[in-house]
Amino acid sequence: MQHVSTRQHWIDTPEGALFAQSWNSDEAYNPPIILLHDSLGCVALWRDFPERLARATGRKVIAYDRLGFGRSAPYPGKLPGSFIADEARSGFRAVCEHFDVNRFVVLGHSVGGGMAVSCAAAFPGRCQGVITESAQAFVEQATCDGIREAERQFALPGQMERLHKYHGDKAYWVLRAWVDTWLSDTFSDWRLDELLQQVRCPVLVLHGDRDEYGSTRQPERIAARVSGPASVQILANCGHVPHREFADAVLEVLCTFPPLRNRDT
């Protein structure tokens, strides 16, 4: 079994410090896999998936807390409506510069999937592959209904403690940034279409058939609108977090994705 070492990193940016972590396989000579977390996520909430991914692929894996999340600095104000597209030129760029990453494969979960698409569009010559997991390509009723139900659950006694555990004093901002952005009238017509059309590298689209925040129309739209080759994997009896609910199956699929299967010579 491959040995995987891990390191923590602090990355200075004009907006504040970002926290990142890397998992380094003994065979990590190929372009790394960079992970982008979901709307309530952070590095810690990936749990053991990054280490398992590094072992399975022989790649270096990098995850970071976006500004306002986890151990990174607070976000200055409200999220703009352009926050999904903006991430490529802000936090993601800073991470690539810190790790001296020239080429990469990017994997994003939920809203991180939309951000992964934006990174591929922003750096077309450097992105070798995109993996979206439970990503949204537009705002549908299921998305809004799922967010409203989650908001009701977080209003119950003790539930906000779950967010405080991972985000500290930023927990309330994290929740409101998710709920208030996605349920706002101004965001209702958001689409990923323009960015999808700019993606020419291979794309793997993962989605659970019981996803609480989006129907299978989401992965279908992503695959149909990218300009490069795309494949869709719908996981049966799976909700919004495939890498946790069916980790073995997800890793098996990832290892067959050509950009991760191919090795540099």
Sorted by where each starts, the structural domains of the chain and their CATH numbers stand as 4-261 (3.40.50.1820)
Confidence of residue 49 (pLDDT cuts 50, 70, 90): very high
33 neighbors 60 (Cβ within 8 angstroms): yes
pLDDT exceeds 90 at position 29: no
What residues contact 257, with CB distance under 8 A and at least 6 apart?
129, 131, 202, 204
Q: In this predicted structure, what is the pLDDT of residue 25?
A: 81
Instruction: Report CA 143 to chain centroid distance, whole Å.
Output: 17
pTM of the model: 0.97
E strands, the chain, are 4-11, 18-25, 33-36, 61-64, 104-109, 127-133, 203-208, 230-235
